């Protein structure tokens, strides 16, 4: 008997392990293959609660993991891209989307021969992985391998649960125990089954795996449909733990989104427990054929009804969780705010947060530049708080650039889609250019300090010219602040025009100032500081234009054009020599 139990247990847990690994591989592959699109969907298709529900439903069906979707939503809320009501709408949709896995298992896993598609899926997937290393086809290979392993794991579980059935049948004690604690025998047994489903999902960290295991038990007749339904209710509570754990250490908004997820799932289970008998009978009438199909129908029906109940109440639920988790967001200006270690598991989400950090750098650059120009209008740059503000912003930008680069360096070592890898590089280059903007603002502060220390004054013409070029630079920096988080940014014409105007004005002002010096209308020392300031303005404009190119994904295109022109010149030179 002990040997049989050991064999059965090893078979069940082995099959469960293969199922979980297949689910993870498939989910990661789908996430990487469609990550940018899903990220844009989550950011743009949440304008109202219904759109949010549909977005959550679609994204979860695409990546086959409600946990991944809810973690993504928590991260987007943390990064400030989703409001709390928007996040709740998406999570409601994710709850419905996750029921797709139950239907796949019920239909393909129990009505068709698993070996007819599981084996070929793994075989074709492995070939794609080896042939497409580092390319998009390798991601689709991972998806196929994950899909095949998922069903191979299901097949192992089916075989092992069949063995478990015979072992249980030989033990009257266990048989009586299962009958005694069937969910339909009383409220205590019902709540015990809900608790078991919750614990199983928390331990496995996958409601899909728990669902597959539950379907197997019910299909082999080890548990009845009401008991399986109670376990599914528990799984709906257990699945909220993943997002809750992901939110720990994040912003107040992220923790509220995770708490909202837990709240409406728990409340949903409470009404389902209160109406358990009629609800189970309704689903049995709705899906009369096959216990596996009934369980998938129960899961879907429960989540659809729960969503319909909470959809009109999203604003009240938001207010409730705000009272549960009071407080305001507090940013540490010298360190990353939106990027967390937990986001590394989802590179696409990490990039969303990285853009928010870059927006902080853009804001600080604008504030730093404004402080410098206010100092330009003052008589004593050392006396005011503005000088300290410039130095503080420079320190903050340096710290953000260092931490952001270090974080993204870890991301870029991970297996990424080509587009994602390129965007990581773009973000690193943007951070570097923002840091250079800060350096040149600090250089402007030094020039002003030197000007006032030596009691140097500019002519009225000189002052007005500085104001004119500074206004152009300010517009270029404001353009970055506006568009750095916009993935559909289309502002390169304006950015290019500003960069050209800054370069042209710098040349014209430099020539006119040299003329003033030659004619004796300007002091030579004042002239040197004036020209140094013009150089810093022009370099800030150059770095701003570089960032604009990275934002609009034009930098790589320009670099390729330069390389093509260089290669053409080299080829012509070689032909001329020949």
347 and 316: one domain? no
**Same domain, residue pair 203 and 277:** yes
32, 417 contact by CB (below 8 A): yes
Taking the CA atoms of 125, 128, 133 and 134 in sequence, report the sign of the dihedral they define.
negative
With helix as H, strand as E and coil as C, how does 181-224 read? CCHHHCHHHHHHHHHHHHHHHHHHCCHHHHHHHHHHHHHCCCCC
Residues 316 and 452 in one domain: no
**44 phi and psi, to 5 degrees?**
-105, -25
Residues 296 and 359 both lie in one domain: no
Query: Positive or negative CA dihedral for 444, 449, 450, 452?
Result: positive
What is the structure's pLDDT at 16? 66
For 163: left if phi > 0, alpha if psi spans -120 to 50, otherwise beta; the answer is alpha
What is the token pair recorded at 380? Answer: 């004593």
Structure tokens at 519: 């004619």
Q: Is 538 in contact with 482 (CB distance < 8 Å)?
A: no
Last residue of a domain, one of 289, 324, 359: 324
Q: Is the pLDDT of residue 111 over 60?
A: no
The answer, yes or no, to whether residue 77 has pLDDT greater than 90, is no
In Å, how far are 18, 102, 149, 166, 479 from 122, measured between CA atoms?
12, 21, 7, 31, 49
Please provide the distance, in angstroms rounded to a whole number, between the alpha carbons at the two ends of the chain. Answer: 88
Is 576 inside any structural domain? Answer: no
What would the two tokens of residue 279 be? 């609800």
User: Mapped to the 3 state alphabet, what secondary structure does 114-142 carry?
Assistant: CHHHHHHHHHHHHHHHHHCCCCHHHHHHH
| Tokens at 112, concatenated | 């068709």
State whether residue 428 is helix, strand or coil. Answer: helix
Contact at 8 Å (CB) between 317 and 259? no
Shared domain for 251 and 355, answered yes or no, is no
- The three-class DSSP label of residue 245 is helix
CA of 90: how far to CAs of 83, 149, 242, 452, 506, in Å? 11, 29, 16, 57, 50
Report CA Rg, the chain.
31
76 and 105 co-located in one domain = yes
CB under 8 A, 24+ apart: contacts of 142-146:
142/25, 142/26, 142/28, 142/29, 142/32, 143/25, 143/26, 143/29, 143/30, 143/33, 145/22, 145/25, 145/26, 145/121, 146/21, 146/22, 146/23, 146/24, 146/25, 146/26, 146/27, 146/28, 146/29
Look at residue 332 and tell me if it is in a domain: no
> Using 50, 70 and 90 to split pLDDT, how confident is the model at 175?
very low
Summarize pLDDT for 313-340 with one digit per residue, the tens: 888 888 888 888 876 555 545 567 777 6
d(CA 340, CA 246): 10
In terms of DSSP H, where are the helices of 519-554? 524-551
Would 299 be classed as within a structural domain?
A: yes
What would the pLDDT profile of 410-420 be if each residue is shown by its tens digit?
Answer: 888 776 666 77
Residue 461 lies in a domain: yes
Give mean pLDDT, residues 495-512: 88
- Residue 404 maps to which CATH number? 1.20.58.220
Confidence grade of residue 569 (pLDDT, cut at 50, 70, 90): low
Find the mean pLDDT for residues 541-545: 93
Q: What is the pLDDT of residue 468?
A: 92
The verdict on 277 and 397 lying in the same domain is no
State how far the Cα of 75 lies from the Cα of 70, in Å rounded to an integer.
Answer: 8
Residue 1 pLDDT class (50, 70, 90 cuts): very low
Q: Do 399 and 263 fall into the same domain?
A: no
Contact 401, 426 (CB under 8 A): no
* Whether residues 403 and 532 fall in one domain: yes
Q: Identify whether residues 77 and 136 lie together within a single domain.
A: yes
Do 357 and 337 form a contact (C-beta atoms < 8 A)?
Answer: yes
Whether 575 is covered by a domain: the verdict is no
Question: What is the spatial distance between Cα 280 and Cα 272, in angstroms, rounded to a whole number?
Answer: 9
Domain boundary among 324, 349, 380: 324
pLDDT of residue 244: 79
Residue 67, pLDDT > 90, answer no
The reply to whether 330 falls in a domain is: no
Q: What single-letter DSSP state applies at residue 578? A: -
Count of structural domains, the chain = 2
Compute the distance between CA of residue 380 and CA of residue 430 in angstroms, rounded to an integer. Answer: 34
| Higher local confidence (pLDDT), 520 or 313 | 313
- Tokens found for residue 525: 């020392």
The predicted structure's pLDDT at residue 12: 66
User: 333 in a domain, yes or no?
Assistant: no
Looking at residue 365, what is its pLDDT?
Answer: 92
pLDDT value, residue 304: 92
**Torsion sign across C-alpha atoms 387, 391, 392, 393:** positive
Instruction: Provide the pLDDT for residue 2.
Output: 46
522's CB contacts (< 8 A; 6+ apart) are 459, 462, 513, 516, 530
pLDDT per position as a tens digit, 197-235: 888 887 776 777 777 778 877 777 777 888 888 888 988
Q: For residue 28, what pLDDT band results from cuts at 50, 70 and 90?
A: low
Q: Is the pLDDT score of 481 beyond 60?
A: yes
Reading phi first (left if > 0) and then psi (alpha if -120 to 50, else beta), residue 116 is in: alpha
Lowest mean pLDDT, pick from 14-18, 336-340, 364-368, 563-567: 563-567
Q: Do 49 and 323 form a contact (C-beta atoms < 8 A)? A: no
pLDDT tens by residue, 419-459: 777 888 889 999 999 999 999 999 998 888 888 878 888 87
Q: Cβ distance 153 to 16 under 8 Å? A: yes
**Does some domain include residue 425?**
yes
CB atoms within 10 A of CB 557: 11
Q: How confident is the model at residue 366 (pLDDT cuts 50, 70, 90)?
A: very high
> How many Cβ atoms from other residues are within 10 Å of residue 114's Cβ?
19
**Domain termination residue (choose one: 324, 350, 372):** 324
Q: What does the mean pLDDT of the chain come to? A: 77
Which run of H or E residues covers position 249?
none
Give me the mean pLDDT over the 504-511 stretch. 86
For 111, 206, 236, 260, 543, the CA distances from 397, given in Å and listed in that order, are: 59, 40, 43, 35, 14
Q: Do residues 395 and 538 share a domain?
A: yes
Domain that holds residue 47: 2-324
Same domain for 314 and 348, yes or no, is: no
């Amino acid at each position: 008997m002990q040997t049989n139990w050991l064999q059965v247990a090893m078979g069940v847990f082995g099959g469960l392990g293969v199922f979980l690994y297949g689910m993870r591989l498939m989910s990661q592959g789908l996430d990487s293959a469609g990550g940018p699109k899903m990220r844009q969907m989550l950011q743009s298709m949440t304008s109202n609660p219904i759109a949010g529900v549909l977005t959550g439903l679609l994204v979860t069906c695409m990546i086959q993991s409600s946990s991944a979707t809810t973690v993504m939503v928590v991260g987007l809320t943390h990064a400030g891209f989703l409001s709390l009501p928007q996040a709740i709408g998406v999570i409601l949709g994710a709850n419905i989307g996750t029921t797709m896995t139950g239907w796949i298992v019920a239909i393909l896993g129990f009505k068709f021969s698993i070996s007819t598609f599981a084996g070929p899926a793994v075989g074709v997937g492995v070939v794609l992985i080896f042939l497409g290393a580092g390319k998009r086809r390798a991601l689709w290979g991972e998806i196929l391998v994950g899909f095949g392993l998922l069903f191979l794991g299901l097949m192992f579980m089916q075989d092992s649960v069949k063995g478990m059935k015979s072992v249980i049948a030989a033990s009257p004690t266990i048989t009586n125990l299962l009958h005694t604690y069937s969910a339909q025998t009383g409220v205590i047994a019902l709540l015990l089954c809900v608790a078991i489903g919750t614990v199983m999902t928390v331990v496995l960290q996958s409601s899909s795996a728990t669902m597959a295991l539950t379907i197997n038990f019910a299909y082999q007749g080890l548990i009845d449909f009401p008991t399986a339904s109670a376990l599914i209710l528990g799984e709906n509570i257990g699945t909220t733990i993943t997002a809750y754990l992901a939110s720990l250490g994040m912003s107040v908004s992220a923790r509220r989104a995770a708490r909202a997820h837990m709240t409406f799932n728990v409340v949903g289970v409470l009404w389902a427990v209160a109406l358990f008998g009629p609800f189970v009978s309704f689903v049995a009438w709705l899906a009369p054929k096959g216990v596996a199909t009934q369980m998938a129908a129960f899961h879907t029906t429960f989540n659809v009804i729960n969503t319909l109940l909470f959809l009109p109440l999203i604003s009240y639920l938001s207010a409730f969780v705000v009272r549960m988790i009071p407080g305001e967001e507090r940013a540490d200006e010298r360190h990353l705010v939106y990027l967390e270690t937990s986001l590394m598991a989802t590179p696409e989400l990490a990039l969303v947060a990285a853009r928010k950090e870059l927006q902080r750098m853009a804001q600080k650059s604008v504030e730093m530049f404004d402080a410098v120009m206010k100092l330009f209008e003052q008589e004593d740059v050392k006396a005011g708080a503005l000088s300290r503000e410039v130095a503080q912003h420079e320190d903050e930008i340096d710290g953000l650039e260092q931490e952001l680069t270090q974080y993204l360096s870890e991301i870029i070592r991970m297996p990424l889609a080509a587009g994602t890898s390129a965007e990581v590089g773009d973000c690193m280059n943007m951070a570097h250019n923002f840091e250079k903007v800060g350096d040149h603002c600090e250089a402007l502060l030094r020039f002003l300090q030197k000007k006032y220390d030596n009691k140097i004054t500019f002519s009225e013409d000189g002052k007005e010219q500085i104001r004119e070029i500074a206004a152009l630079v300010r517009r270029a920096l404001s353009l970055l602040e506006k568009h750095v988080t916009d993935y559909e940014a289309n502002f390169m014409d304006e950015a290019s025009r500003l960069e050209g105007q800054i370069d042209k004005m710098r040349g014209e002002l430099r020539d006119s100032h040299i003329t003033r010096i030659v004619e004796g209308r300007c002091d030579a020392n004042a002239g040197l500081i004036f020209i140094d300031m013009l150089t810093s303005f022009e370099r800030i404009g150059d770095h701003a234009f570089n960032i604009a190119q990275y934002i609009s994904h034009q930098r790589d295109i320009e670099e390729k054009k330069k390389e093509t022109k260089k290669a053409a010149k080299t080829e012509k030179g070689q032909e001329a020599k020949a």
